Amino acid sequence: MPLITIEKAEKFYDGWSKCYLLHLLDRQGRRRTYQIEDHGAVASVLPYDPERKVAILVYQVRPPLIFAGETERLYEAPAGVIETEGAEECARREALEEAGVAVTTLEYLGSFWAAPGISTERSSIYLAPYSIADRVTEGGGLAAEHEDIEVHELPLSQLAEMADSFQISCMKTFVAIQALRQRRPELF
């Protein structure tokens, strides 16, 4: 017998994200309810230029941060919800839309739960080398999505300092930077 069985899932919000009230039954026969948020899996990519020793991060407004009383923007690796494509294609699409870089080679770091106590979001994280020739647009996101994205190409040494001083507060971005530091220390 499983530890917990979902007897019923009631959707109480259906927008870009969906929210459910789960009715649970445990092995001892106890019932309880639990709220979750569901918006699907995401892909994130840290584009980096090994020749120039820089990486691209995006800087954008995040309303949940404002709600939490924090800064309204933070540095992030380009990321987005996996739509009809797979995780790799989503990472490529987001690198192009948000950062303006056409990446071809992706190095898979893993798939990680973002907030398993409340959300079904699982993030596939990638590293992607690029060159100056791969910068094909300005980036900045899609106008239709009303994204207010600034594109920043930063020295990898600065990214390391930012990570070490906790100026990188986006978990998926922090993971990608630390993985790149571990795998390619000569770039820092």
- Residue 40, token pair as written in the block: 């699907």
In 102-160, where do the E strands start and end?
107-113, 122-129, 149-155
Is 85 marked within a binding site?
no
Is 7 marked within a binding site?
no
Contact assessment for residue 151 and residue 140, using Cβ atoms and an 8 Å cutoff: yes
Amino acid at 109: L
Is 79 marked within a binding site?
yes
Is 10 marked within a binding site?
no
Which residue(s) pair with 150 in the sheet? Answer: 59
Contact assessment for residue 57 and residue 155, using Cβ atoms and an 8 Å cutoff: no
What 3-state class would DSSP assign to 181? helix
* Residue list for the binding site for Mg(2+): 79, 94, 98, 147
Which amino acids are annotated as binding site, given as ranges? Answer: 79, 94, 98, 147
